[in-house]
A and B are shown apart, each in its own frame.
Chain A
Amino acid sequence: MADTILVVAEQREGKLNRVSLETIAGAQAISKETGWPVEVVLAGSDIGSLAQELAAKAVARVSVLEAPALTTYTSDAYVFALKQFIQEKQPKLVLFPHTYQVRDFAPRLALALDRSLISDAVGYKYENGRLLFTRQMFQGKFAADVSFAGDGPWLATFQIGAFRGDQAEAGSAPVENVTAAVSEGSPRVTPHEVFQEAKQAVDLSQSEVIVAVGRGIKEQKNLALAEELAKALGGEVAASRPICDNGWLPLERQIGSSGQTVAPKLYVALGISGAIQHLVGMKGSRTIVAINKDPEAPIFEIADVGVVGNLFDVVPALTEEIKKAKSA
């Protein structure tokens, strides 16, 4: 059988997760170099209309893997159905978006197939006929090129934002309906409704200026430094996850993949290292200023202005200077 790339697209409650298109774009890029055609599979029930959107991309085929057991996501049902499907299709490479759902079942699926999963890749390289996946290591301080040993199918997940979904090439693909394999037992996990916590008092997505603090702020009482800077700039205070985990600021002020996504005119990051889960929530900001004592901190990768220094010295001076500039 010829080698193919299979993209496992994601839907939740009948809505296509747009990051699936990013993974298709990634698969198309790999396909250009390897010559392996791209196919897509979408699992669920009653999802034919979603398949149409996927079929409008330049891929060889879209398979709709359906069964009532796949209506609501459970790892048991997904692993069972996808294992059977992949064993029949024998693709060379299986690609997923690195979503919470994929994190939940893809490692199990890989092992059930007696194969390996390279998770959270930010890109790939095709060198002398070998496919390598690039992933961030040590919280973004390093990158690594990782290869598969042994036979396919090889499984890999792409980090959100690794490719641009709007650059997935358009086309027209046939849609194939496949009845999913369903295990005899019922799933062991019983999921309930997805919900959000109570309404939020602040909407940071509307703020033009955000001053965000990270663990470099050291103690809760030092938040005053950030508050004064925010006041001088006419902005709001936000934070990285550890600050909210500590209860120093409410969860609604957390920026990142499990918090808010913002794109203000100005984002000032104080003592934030720049882990990817934080960056995805703020990298769309127009101007990013980062203050960090570590010149190697990954936050500097995406900052427009980087200040290497002790925030306890720099921030008070900056607050004063901005007050002066504003009153001038």
Chain B
Amino acid sequence: MKILVCIKQVPQKDAPLKLNESGTWIREDVSYEVNEPDAYALEEALRQKEKHGGEVVVITAGPVRAQQVLREALAKGADRAIHLEDDKFVQLDSTNTARAIAAAAAEENFDLIVTGLQSDDFGAAQTGVLLAEILGLPHATIIIGIEKTDSGLRLKRELEAGHYQFIDLPTPAVLTIQSGINKLRYASLIGIKQAKNKPLRKVAWAEVEPKLSKNLQQIERLYVPVKQKKTEMIEGPAAEVARKVTEYLKNTARVI
């Protein structure tokens, strides 16, 4: 199988985030990491390749810094990478992001395209599904199991509240992957070394621009949400905090 994995670079989970001057996004001087479900999508692609042969290609759209997620993927075993490299790519909505990725991927005829189910920053949960529509492919979402069959794929789909469903899907197809589908691997030292010599193709903004159109939604403002509940905040040395919480549980909440 020839598989494309879409990987987004997002701010690190524990990074303290600050608003930018225009109040439309965060300040960019933070640490970044691979969007969590995308790491699972990559792992699944590598496992499918190990079982059935083929090739794993990784793609990201974003500024120069985003190359890091491609390097990590190559070190883990991806064969080559595509970088839609420009600061402007992160200002695209999900539809245009999908259009950009589709433009760079269309001629490659992948058997399978995998994305994460949603990003940890904007979190639209749309890019993969839109990619399928643009490429005219069938798709399935929130996948936590993939098995190759004679006619395509047998997939385990997560549903709400502990329910599941198996579905069959012909390839080529697009899947959005849920975290926890597998156990992630670490990059090996050899892998990290080899990654340096693996091909990385850069795609410039101008190459895909004709395929894009105006964003049909815009962020008016970003802000810290207003608190809805009155929280009693307790800080201080552990012993003192423990005493205060216990008092609360005993006298106010009456649970001990």
Which residues of A are interface residues toward B (Cβ below 8 A)? 75-76, 99-100, 103-105, 107-108, 110-112, 115-120, 132, 135-150, 188-197, 208-209, 215, 233, 241-242, 244-245, 247, 251, 257-261, 265-266, 273, 286-287, 289, 294-296, 298, 300-309, 313-314, 316-318, 320-322, 324-326
Q: Which residues of A contact B93 (CB under 8 A)?
A: 116
Given contacts A136-B225, A145-B221, contact A188 B235 (CB under 8 A): no
The 9 closest A-B pairs by CB, nearest first: A245-B180, A116-B216, A188-B138, A317-B242, A107-B126, A287-B253, A321-B242, A107-B129, A313-B238
Asked whether, in the complex, the Cβ of B214 is within 8 Å of the Cβ of A143, the reply is no
| Contact (Cβ within 8 A) A100 B160 | yes
A172 to chain B, nearest CB (A): 31
A to B CB contacts below 8 Å, 30 in the list: A99-B160, A111-B95, A111-B133, A119-B125, A120-B124, A120-B125, A132-B220, A136-B225, A141-B17, A142-B222, A143-B223, A144-B220, A146-B219, A148-B217, A149-B214, A149-B218, A189-B140, A190-B167, A193-B166, A196-B163, A259-B162, A287-B253, A301-B229, A304-B232, A306-B234, A314-B241, A316-B238, A317-B242, A320-B242, A325-B250
Q: Looking at the complex, which one of B16, B123, B218, B231 makes contact with A300 (CB distance below 8 Å)?
A: B231
Interface on chain B toward A: helix, strand, loop, or mixed SS? mixed
Q: Does B51 contact A (CB under 8 A)?
A: no
Q: Assess the A308–B233 pair: CB atoms within 8 A.
A: yes
Contacts of A75 in B (CB 8 A): 139
Extra pairs beyond A107-B94, A296-B224 (4, CB < 8 Å): A196-B164, A320-B242, A321-B245, A322-B249
B186 interface hit (Cβ, 8 Å): no
Q: Is A258 touching B161 in the complex (CB atoms < 8 A)?
A: yes
Q: When each residue 233-249 of chain B gets 1 if its CB lies under 8 Å from chain A and 0 otherwise, what string results? A: 11100110111011011
Q: Are A317 and B121 in contact (CB under 8 A)?
A: no
- CB contacts (< 8 Å) of A241 on chain B: these are 179-180
- Chain A residues lying within 8 Å of B232, measured Cβ to Cβ, are 304-306
A246 to chain B, nearest CB (A): 8
Given contacts A266-B249, A305-B232, A314-B242, contact A137 B121 (CB under 8 A): yes
A147 touches B220 (CB 8 A): yes
Interface of A is mostly: mixed
Is A308's CB under 8 angstroms from B235's CB? yes
Task: Determine whether the beta carbon of A317 is less than 8 Å from that of B126.
Answer: no
Number of interface residues of B (CB under 8 A): 76
Choose from B130, B133, B141, B179 the contact partner of A242 (Cβ within 8 Å).
B179
A138's partner among B26, B126, B139 (CB-CB below 8 A) is B26
* Residue of A whose beta carbon sits closest to that of B248: A305
Quick check: B223 and A309 within 8 Å, CB to CB?
Answer: no
**B228 at interface (Cβ–Cβ under 8 A)?**
yes
Judge whether A138 and B142 touch: CB under 8 Å. no
Min CB–CB distance A180 → chain B (angstroms): 20
A115, A142, A309: the one within 8 Å of B241 (CB): A309
**B250 & A294 in contact (Cβ 8 Å cutoff):** no
Report yes or no: A251 in contact with B162, Cβ–Cβ below 8 A: yes
Residue of B nearest to A247 (CB): B183
Check A137/B233 contact, CB under 8 A, given A103-B141, A287-B255, A301-B228: no
Q: Is B108 an interface residue (CB 8 A)?
A: no
